[in-house]
Amino acid sequence: MNIGKKYVDAYITKSDPKARPILRQLRRAIKTSAPQAVEGIRYGMPYYSYFGRLTYFAAFRNHVSLFVMGRAKITYAQEIKPYQTSLATLQFALGTKIPVSLIKKLIVARVKENDAAKKK
């Protein structure tokens, strides 16, 4: 059982109601793309690990951020460009549609990257 689930549930519930739909979409995209990932809270935000860090996300006043780790952000540089605010941060304004298929691709790439690192 993933005990981190209740903490992520609480994080989403306590977040701004306008952020909750995006948070739920991010969570669903991550969990379907990396069902073996462990869910929890790190640095006060939802965190997913699978043989190391996969991703984090967090709600802010006017947006939700997804923190993309590893080479996935390089592989999909052109696709993430409209959302990228720093080397590892994608921002989605509250009330906007998020690129779920892109997020899934990023997470799958991270899983593969962590799998390869584990085998070394």
Per-residue model confidence as pLDDT tens digits over 73-85: 899 999 999 998 8
Mean pLDDT along residues 32-46: 95
pLDDT above 70 covers what percent of the chain?
Answer: 98
Cβ-count burial 15-51 (b if 16+ within 10 Å, e if not): beeebbebbebbbebbbebbeebebeeeeeebbbbbb
The pTM assigned to this predicted structure is: 0.93
* Distance, CA of 75 to CA of 96 (rounded, Å): 24
Q: What burial class does residue 114 get, using C-beta atoms within 10 Å of its C-beta: 0-12 exposed, 13-18 middle, 19+ buried?
A: buried
Average pLDDT over the chain, rounded to whole?
Answer: 93
Q: What's the confidence (pLDDT) of residue 57?
A: 98
The helix/strand/coil state of 77 is helix
Query: Within 10 Å of residue 60's Cβ, how many Cβ atoms?
Result: 12
- The arithmetic mean of pLDDT across residues 52-57, rounded, is 95
